[in-house]
Amino acid sequence: MKIVSTPDNLQVLHEDNHIIVVNKRVGDIVQGDQTGDMPLSDIVKLYLKKKYNKPGEVFLGVVHRLDRPTSGLVVFAKTSKALTRLNESFKNRETQKTYWAVIKNAPPKVEDTLEHFLVRNPKNNTSKAHKKEVPNSKKAKLSYRMFHQLKTYSALEIDLHTGRHHQIRCQLAAVGCPIKGDLKYGADRSNPDGGIHLHARKLTFVHPVTKESLTITAPTPEDVIWNEVSN
C-alpha cells in the first residue's frame, strides 16, 4: 500500500531554526503542479504550524526538487536568509548529492563515469541522451559504483556532477540499465506504488547560517528490494 506524507507522518531527518530536511516518499510532489495534489512544501508548512502552534502563515522556501516517483531527502529553508544562501549554494554546485538506484541488468563496468549530452522534450517530459553534442543539448556527467548485486537487478551508488532534467534516469537507460519501475525510460514493468527505485540517499552541504558542514542520510523506503540493498 502506498503511504503519502502528511503533517502527522512526516519523516524529518534534520531541523533547526533555519532549515528542515525531510525524507520524501514516492508519490509526494515537492511543489504544486497541475494535478492539484497537496505538495510536500504545504505539508511541511502544516507540520511546522502545528508543532510550534504558529498563528498565520508559515514561511518555507523550496531549495531543490525531486521527481515525483523518486524518494529521498529534500531540504527546505525556514527563513528568507537561509533560502537565499541555499539557493546560491545549490546553483553553484557547492553541494555533494549521492543517490542510490536499483537497475535492470549489470552496468558495463563495476564503477565508471558517464558523460552524455541531454536534450529535454517538454511535450512528453523526458530527456534523450546523445553521445556527442547536438543542438539544444546540455552536458550531463555522473559517476557510479555498483555496491550490491541481486538476482535480476544491481544497486548503484551515484554521485552527480551536473544537475540535468531526469539525468540519472536518462543516462542509466542510455547504457542499457533502466531503473526498476521507470516505464518512461525503458523498464518493462511498473512498481506497485507507481514509483521508481531511485533514492536521494545522502547530501553534504554547508549550513547557510552556522557555516558548518552537514551530511544527512535518508533511510530507504520499506520494500523487499530496498531492504536487501540497505543491509
Length of the chain, please? 231
For 1, residues 6+ apart whose C-beta sits below 8 A from its C-beta are none
**Cβ-contact 96, 205 below 8 angstroms:** yes
- Is residue 8 annotated as a catalytic residue, yes or no? no
Q: Out of 67, 112, 182, 193, which one is annotated catalytic?
A: 67
Distinct helix (H) and strand (E) counts, the chain? 4, 11
Q: Tell me phi and psi for residue 12, to 5 degrees.
A: -90, 120
* Nearest in space to 218 (alpha carbons), one of 70, 43, 24: 24
> Within 13 Å and on the Cβ side, how many CA atoms surround 33?
10
Catalytic residue numbers, as ranges? 67
